[in-house]
Structure 1
Amino acid sequence: MSFWLESLGPIERRSALPGDRDADVAIVGGGYTGLWTAYYLAKAHPDLRILVLEAEFCGFGASGRNGGWASGLFPVSEQKLSSRYGVEPARAMHAALEDAVDEVGRAGIDCDYAKGGVISLIRTPGQLRRAPAARLDAAGTRAICNANGVLGGVYSEHCAALHPGKLVRGLAAEVEKLGVTVHEGTRVLSLQAGRVVTDRGTVRADTVVRALEGYTPELPGHRRELAPVYSLMIATEPLPAPVWERIGLGRRETFTDERRMIIYGQRTADDRLAFGGRGAPYHFGSRVRPEFDRVPAVFGKLRHALSELFGIEVPVAYRWGGPLGIPRDWMPSVGLRDGIAWAGGYVGDGVAASNLAGRTLTDLILSRSTELTRLPWVNHRSRRWEPEPARWLGINAGLHGTALLDAWDR
């Protein structure tokens, strides 16, 4: 498991589905998307019979393994959204995500929430040429995050650092207090309008919600819906005060840089560096396996990158990974059609987006026309990924090409 989950101590699992059941809403997936949906539905309509089904335990997937960024980032730029949907809908989409960063904090769940923003470091001439014009100079950047070789930086206030494990486990406890039934250890075998078949029984429901993110391809008929691409992380031992005085991140700002192969990090509430990045291979046939969580070569690169950033030998205490869901056009979506609702495809920025998705799904399920239900991602359908072996060749070629471009920059 991740540092986030191990730091909480032993996980007490909830009971499995005890047999066939009826519900008003059946939610497949006990991560952020499924739990936020249950949370807002139960608050809006306490009489609803809401049932959450989770194969392992709540937070086992990306919700308990991510970098702990609640960010206002959206994988499709405002410019591209504007060209397709218009200027105002594009602005509304980005504004709603920025507000979702605050909404996660407003929920009041104890998760070490600290809204310090995010600093993206510029460290090569190539990165400097690509960076937005509105940026900090080297001195201003180092005042936030004193990394080596900084030429400048791009700062945004729309990001909060948090403890993902505390958030997802706390959220699961909250929905139960609201009357939602959560069954863990219950693997969904198939879903369709009005019915979810599991290894423990069948749930009949007016609305079925698919909230599986990187595990979506394991469902029959959804193999090419999202590509499960792995992101890996390391966490250090707690670092002493003199090291933090030199590094900075005094408001627990999250950090990244302008390289193409994404990296991400934060200063945890107990003064560790939690640091991750892409680079692990995509596996043929969209396979998701526990052994794919650990790639020694990628862990080594992460440790080297962190040491190079801050000029320290980092004492790594934890290593883990997990899959995230990537749609073919990199456009997350949320929707409801013919009794089946869905949300996901966050491309690794799902902590805040899943909160927005849960509120949007609530409005859609309750047939409410709101500002959220008019956002561009509502009922968007990405085209499916190519069949194998084209999918495997294309995604891994893209990963290798990205790494080569970053090497050229350096």
Structure 2
Amino acid sequence: MNLLDAVRSNIEQEFSWWQRDARSVFGSNTQLPLSGTIDVDVAIVGGGFTGLWTALVLKERQPQMRIAILDAYRCGDGASSRNGGNVHGYWGALPTLLPIFGTDKSIDAARLGTLAQIRLREFATAPGRDVWWVEEGYLRVATSPAQVQKIQEFIRIARDLGVDSTLTRLPQTELRNLCNSPRFLEGLLFSEGATVHPARLAYALRQAALDAGVQIFENSPVKHVRKGSPNKVETAHGAITARDVVLATYTGTMGLGPVARTTTLFSSFPVMSEADPEYLEKINYSVARGLADLRMFTHYFRRTKDGRILMGSGSGPLELGSAHNSEKLRRDPASAQRAATGLQRFFPGMRGGVVASWGYPIEVTSDRLPYFGTLADARIHYGSGYSGHGVNATVIAGECISSLILNQKDQWTTSAFCARTRMTFPIEPFRFVGGTMVRDAIVRCEDAEDAGRRQPLIAQAISNLPRVMGMRVGTR
């Protein structure tokens, strides 16, 4: 069996600001590439957050288990070191989850996210680790009257479910004490939320895996994964035989049929500002709390330890089928400019400009929840669909995939993260063409709302098509 499409990765060599900063502190030494043939219990393809957490969880549950990680470059150099570093679970996703999963499964998913948050905190705050962990909640802000209505809906749902202790509504006067941007009208503070330096976290996880006895082979791109008993993972200069294989390749799993049918490719583009801690103190943005507005294609942002602002736009281009190596998912001037415009709009007093920008593809499942599974005819496991919020979700991945490998029926494998029926997307090219039309229409409508203008009628009609068609994703 050749699963080349599911494991091939083409990481651009333009590093994120996070990666450059981490390299300046820790260096860029790599583990030796795979050479020759070895036999292990579990071979993990991909050394990002998913692969590293899975290895660590397996080692905790079965310390004698033989585990090897293969990475095409250096562990963590893919999506893991290119995200915004906002860390939060699924309490804020309840309005999206409830119509799909119902009350019990939705709250269960949120509670598992809380367990993941606890594990992240314990790891990040252990002695000797400096990953810029700051846990001050997660703030959603309304920047238009339409977004204020969304806050009201959040509050109503939380009260109806009896989970309103997870959030606090902040009128503008109180919001100004946390971040006094002239664009913020109202806020919703979720008690569960943190920020982290994602590249430093990747370095720490990598070191922890090495310390636990996990074999790591870097600069070892996988050429083939051959199904069998055992499975065989091949690189240019070696091979690994393993009872279980984990495909922890993020968007690379779009090459798998079960993933491709229920997942689509988007992209996200952040920019990083010059440091201006004096201005941030002046507007009361004194702690590195993560924020996002309430657009569907959000602006997500946070300050850094040294007084910068990362501003990201989740409205990048889509791509056809499983083409996760597409250049436009990594370089799109319009998306980068949208993030830079958001930075200027929300923080007009920041001195200096943008010092770095980058982009990367993200997977979005048809119901917006990650999924972890096993191929029907093989002991080959995978994780997919993080929707750009993978710091917390990859901890869940480690627990879920480990339980699948160990054939354990527990709170992880019986949850919606592993046990659910997912709606399939239309076949290509209808998925790409329709998705692009709806994405562009929603961006135009939300831009109009932010500017206080009427939404264009044609764009409004197109943006409502997913809801009219009964779809669960792409609806406002």
TM-score of the superposition, structure 2-length normalised? 0.80
Query: Is 49-58 or 378-387 further displaced after alignment?
Result: 378-387
The CA distance in 2 between the partners of 1:220 and 1:91, in whole Å, is 29
Percent identity among equivalent residues?
A: 28
The CA distance in 2 between the partners of 1:186 and 1:74, in whole Å, is 38
Deviations 1:362-397 (CA, angstroms, capped at 9, x unpaired):
233223333223212114453554443223212211
The one-letter code sitting in structure 1 at the alignment partner of 2:356 is Y
Equivalence for 1:245: 281
Query: Is 349-358 or 123-132 further displaced after alignment?
Result: 123-132
The CA distance in 2 between the partners of 1:220 and 1:94, in whole Å, is 28
Deviations 1:294-339 (CA, angstroms, capped at 9, x unpaired):
3222222211111111222552111111111122332311234541
Query: Is 40-49 or 158-167 further displaced after alignment?
Result: 40-49
- Whether the aligned pair in 2 keeps the contact of 1:31 and 1:211 (CA below 8 Å) is yes
Structure 2 unaligned blocks of 5 or more: 1-14, 156-168, 451-476
For residue 95 of structure 1, the aligned residue among 111, 114, 128 is 111
Q: Identify if the C-alpha distance between structure 1 residues 78 and 301 changes in structure 2 by more than 3 Å, giving closer, same or farther.
A: closer
Equivalence for 2:455: none
The CA distance in 2 between the partners of 1:167 and 1:106, in whole Å, is 12
The CA distance in 2 between the partners of 1:374 and 1:221, in whole Å, is 19
Residue 265 of structure 1 pairs with residue 301 of structure 2 = yes
Q: Identify if the C-alpha distance between structure 1 residues 197 and 380 changes in structure 2 by more than 3 Å, giving closer, same or farther.
A: farther
For residue 151 of structure 1, the aligned residue among 180, 185, 190 is 185
Deviation of the 1:189 alpha carbon:
3.1
The CA distance in 2 between the partners of 1:298 and 1:375, in whole Å, is 35
Residue 215 of structure 1 pairs with residue 252 of structure 2 = yes
Equivalence for 1:325: 363
Equivalence for 2:170: 136
Q: Identify if the C-alpha distance between structure 1 residues 92 and 217 changes in structure 2 by more than 3 Å, giving closer, same or farther.
A: closer
The CA distance in 1 between the partners of 2:329 and 2:316, in whole Å, is 9
The CA distance in 1 between the partners of 2:439 and 2:43, in whole Å, is 36
Matches within 5 A, 1:291-306: 292-306=329-343
Matches within 5 A, 1:182-193: 182-191=216-225, 192=227
Equivalence for 1:342: 382
Secondary structure of 2:404's aligned partner: helix
Secondary structure of 1:374's aligned partner: coil
Deviation of the 1:21 alpha carbon:
2.3
Equivalence for 2:347: 310
For residue 140 of structure 2, the aligned residue among 120, 128, 139 is 120
Residue 36 of structure 1 pairs with residue 53 of structure 2 = yes
- Whether the aligned pair in 1 keeps the contact of 2:140 and 2:292 (CA below 8 Å) is yes
For residue 231 of structure 1, the aligned residue among 268, 271, 288 is 268
The one-letter code sitting in structure 2 at the alignment partner of 1:6 is R
Structure 1 unaligned blocks of 5 or more: none
- Whether the aligned pair in 2 keeps the contact of 1:190 and 1:220 (CA below 8 Å) is no
Deviations 1:237-262 (CA, angstroms, capped at 9, x unpaired):
21132x01233232321111112221
Matches within 5 A, 1:354-369: 354-369=394-409
Secondary structure of 2:35's aligned partner: coil
The CA distance in 2 between the partners of 1:48 and 1:329, in whole Å, is 34
For residue 233 of structure 2, the aligned residue among 193, 196, 201 is 196
Deviation of the 1:81 alpha carbon:
4.6
Residue 377 of structure 1 pairs with residue 417 of structure 2 = yes
Deviation of the 1:183 alpha carbon:
1.1
- Whether the aligned pair in 2 keeps the contact of 1:335 and 1:342 (CA below 8 Å) is yes
Equivalence for 1:72: 89
Deviation of the 1:223 alpha carbon:
5.2
The one-letter code sitting in structure 2 at the alignment partner of 1:110 is D
For residue 121 of structure 2, the aligned residue among 105, 110, 120 is 105
Q: Identify if the C-alpha distance between structure 1 residues 170 and 54 changes in structure 2 by more than 3 Å, giving closer, same or farther.
A: same
- Whether the aligned pair in 1 keeps the contact of 2:413 and 2:419 (CA below 8 Å) is no
